[in-house]
C-alpha cells in the first residue's frame, strides 16, 4: 500500500457479531486503499460500529459522536477531512434520525448494507451528500464482500470469528435484534467452508462460528440439502480445525445431535453459552421464549451427560416487566441448581418498538439494581469456584498474545478462561500444557509444563 493511503479507525460496540462485521469492513476497505489504524486522531475515516441492545449501549454512541465532533473540527482547521460513519444496529434502528440528532455524522449504514460502504464513501467525500443505507438487500451481503484479507487474519492472531447465521425470527418481547438484524438467514455451506479454509491457511487455531441464533443454522450444501450446525461443525473438525466453538444458541434449537457432539468431537471446546434469561415460567412466557425452565434443566442434564466437565454460561435479565419477588427467586434457584462457570446479566432496558417496552408493569429502577447486585453476587461466587477448581490441574491453553510482563504469555483454556502463563519457550498460536497455580474470578495463573513431561 502506498504512503498516501488513507486511514480508517473502527470502533466496535456490543456483541461478537459486531467484532466480525468490523473485521470484514476493515478487510473491504483495505482494498479501497484505507489502512486500519488504532486511534481516531489520525483517521480520515472513523466508523462507529454500534450496538442497540440496551439503552446504555445506544447512548454511549451519541456521547462518542459528541467527542468526535470536536476532533473533526480540529482536523478541519488543519485542512484535513474526516468522514464520520455510524454503522451497526443503532444505524439500522435510527437511520436518518442520526443525521438530525448529530449533524457531525456523514454516513449511516446498517449491518446488512455495509458492503455498500465504498460507494457511499465516494458520494460523501465528493458530492458532500450524506448517504443513509438501512436496507435489507436480497443479495447476500457476504457474497458481495471480498474474502478476508490474509495479512489481516495473521495480524489478528490465532483465534477467529466466522459468522454463519444472522438475524432472528424468535421475537423475544424484550429484544431489538429481529428489527435491527432482520429475518433469520444462514450462509451457504460452501461459502462458510471457503472462509474457514482461508482462516486455517493463515494460522488460525480456534474458530468460533457466530450467529444470533447459531444453532438454528440451516445452510444449504451444493446439492441443495439442508446442513445443520452439528453437520457444519463436524465438517470443520474434519478439516483439522484444532479448536471449535459456537455462539449464541437458543434453548429451543438445542437438538440431540448438537448436544452429543460435545462428547463426540475432541476439538469441540467444553463450553456452552446457552441464555435462559429467567428461571420463572411466568416470565419466560411473557418474554415469548417459548420454553419452560424445566426444558432448560433437561437440556443441561443431557449436555452434562455428553460432556461432564463442560463449562456453562448464560445471559440473565432482571426486572423484566411484571417480575415479582417470587419470579426473581425462581431465577436465583435456577442459578443455584445449574451452577454456571460464568454468565452475563443485565437490568431490563425498554427498547423502542418492542412489545415489553409498552407494558405498564415496569419494575422500579432501584429494585432492578438490587436484584441485579444479588444475582451477580451469586454468579461471581460460582465463577470463582469454577476457576479455583482448576488449581493444581494441567489444562491445555491456546497462546493468544504476550502478557503485560516479560516471560508471561496470555491465552485461553478450553473453558474460555483467560490464563496468564509463565513460559520462556511458547509462541503465539501454540497449544500448550499449563499447570494452574492460582485462580481469581477473572483469570487463571500457571506455568508452562509442556516440555517437562
Ligand atoms: N434489556 C436487557 N437485556 C437485554 N438483552 C437483550 N435485550 C435486552 C433488553 N431489552 C440481553 C439478553 C440477551 C443479551 C445479548 O442481551 O440477555 O441474551
Ligand atoms: Fe433477541 Fe430472542 Fe432473537 Fe435472541 S432469540 S436475538 S434474545 S429475539
Reported as a single tens digit per residue, the pLDDT across 113-161 is 999 999 999 888 876 678 898 887 766 788 889 888 899 999 999 999 9
Which of ligand 2's atoms lies nearest the C-alpha of 289? 2
Q: How far apart are the first and last CA of the chain?
A: 47
Tell me: pLDDT of 1 over 50: no
Asked if residue 351 has its Cβ within 6 Å of ligand 1, the reply is yes
pLDDT the model gives residue 301: 98
Asked if residue 175 has its Cβ within 6 Å of ligand 2, the reply is yes
Residues in the chain: 453
Q: How many angstroms does the Cα of residue 53 sit away from the middle of ligand 1? A: 6
Reported as a single tens digit per residue, the pLDDT across 338-392 is 999 999 999 999 999 999 999 999 999 999 999 999 999 999 999 999 999 999 9
Asked if residue 349 has its Cβ within 6 Å of ligand 1, the reply is yes
Asked if residue 342 has its Cβ within 6 Å of ligand 2, the reply is no
Region 78-105: mean pLDDT is: 93
Ligand nearest to the CA of 170: 2
Average pLDDT, the chain: 94
Reported as a single tens digit per residue, the pLDDT across 401-446 is 999 888 999 999 999 999 999 998 878 999 999 999 999 999 999 9
Which of ligand 1's atoms lies nearest the C-alpha of 344? 17
Asked if residue 331 has its Cβ within 6 Å of ligand 1, the reply is no
Q: How many angstroms does the Cα of residue 166 sit away from the middle of ligand 2? A: 11
Asked if residue 172 has its Cβ within 6 Å of ligand 2, the reply is yes
pLDDT the model gives residue 420: 97
Amino acid at each position: 500500500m502506498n504512503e498516501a493511503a488513507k486511514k480508517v479507525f473502527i470502533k466496535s460496540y456490543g456483541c461478537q457479531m459486531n467484532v466480525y462485521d468490523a473485521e470484514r469492513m476493515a478487510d473491504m476497505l483495505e482494498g479501497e486503499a484505507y489502512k486500519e489504524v488504532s486511534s481516531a486522531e489520525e483517521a480520515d475515516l472513523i466508523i462507529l460500529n454500534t450496538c442497540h441492545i440496551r439503552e446504555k449501549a445506544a447512548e454511549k454512541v451519541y456521547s462518542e459522536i459528541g467527542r468526535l465532533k470536536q476532533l473533526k473540527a480540529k482536523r478541519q482547521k488543519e485542512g484535513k477531512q474526516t468522514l464520520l460513519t455510524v454503522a451497526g444496529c443503532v444505524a439500522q434502528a435510527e437511520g436518518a434520525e442520526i443525521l438530525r440528532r448529530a449533524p457531525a455524522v456523514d454516513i449511516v449504514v446498517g449491518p446488512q448494507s455495509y458492503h455498500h460502504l465504498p460507494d457511499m464513501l465516494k458520494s460523501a467525500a465528493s458530492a458532500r451528500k450524506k448517504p443513509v443505507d438501512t436496507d435489507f438487500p436480497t443479495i447476500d451481503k457476504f457474497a458481495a464482500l471480498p474474502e478476508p484479507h490474509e495479512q489481516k487474519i495473521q495480524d489478528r492472531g490465532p483465534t477467529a470469528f466466522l459468522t454463519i447465521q444472522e438475524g432472528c425470527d424468535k421475537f423475544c418481547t424484550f429484544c431489538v435484534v429481529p428489527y435491527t438484524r432482520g429475518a433469520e438467514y444462514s450462509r451457504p455451506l460452501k461459502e462458510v467452508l471457503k472462509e474457514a479454509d482461508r482462516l486455517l491457511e493463515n494460522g488460525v487455531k480456534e474458530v468460533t462460528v457466530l450467529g444470533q441464533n447459531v444453532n438454528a443454522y440451516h445452510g444449504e450444501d451444493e446439492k441443495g440439502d439442508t446442513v445443520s450446525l452439528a453437520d457444519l461443525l463436524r465438517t470443520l473438525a474434519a478439516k483439522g480445525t484444532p479448536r471449535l466453538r459456537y455462539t449464541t444458541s437458543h434453548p429451543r434449537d438445542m437438538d440431540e445431535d448438537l448436544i452429543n457432539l460435545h462428547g463426540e468431537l475432541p476439538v469441540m471446546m467444553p463450553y456452552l453459552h446457552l441464555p435462559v434469561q429467567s428461571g420463572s415460567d411466568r416470565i419466560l412466557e411473557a418474554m415469548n421464549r417459548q420454553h419452560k425452565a424445566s426444558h432448560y434443566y433437561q437440556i443441561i442434564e443431557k449436555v452434562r451427560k455428553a460432556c461432564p466437565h463442560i463449562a456453562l454460561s448464560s445471559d440473565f435479565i432482571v426486572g423484566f416487566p411484571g417480575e415479582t419477588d417470587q419470579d426473581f427467586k425462581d431465577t436465583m434457584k435456577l442459578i443455584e441448581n445449574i451452577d454456571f462457570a460464568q454468565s452475563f446479566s443485565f437490568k431490563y432496558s425498554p427498547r423502542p418498538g418492542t412489545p415489553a417496552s409498552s407494558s405498564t408493569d415496569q419494575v422500579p429502577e432501584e429494585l432492578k439494581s438490587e436484584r441485579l447486585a444479588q444475582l451477580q453476587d451469586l454468579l461471581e461466587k460460582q465463577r470463582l469456584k469454577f476457576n479455583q477448581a482448576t488449581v493444581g490441574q494441567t489444562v491445555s491453553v491456546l497462546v493468544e498474545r504476550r502478557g503485560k510482563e516479560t516471560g508471561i504469555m496470555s491465552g485461553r483454556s478450553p473453558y474460555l478462561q483467560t490464563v496468564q502463563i509463565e513460559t520462556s519457550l511458547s509462541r503465539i498460536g501454540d497449544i500448550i500444557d499449563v499447570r494452574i497455580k492460582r485462580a481469581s474470578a477473572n483469570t487463571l495463573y500457571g506455568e508452562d509444563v509442556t516440555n517437562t513431561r
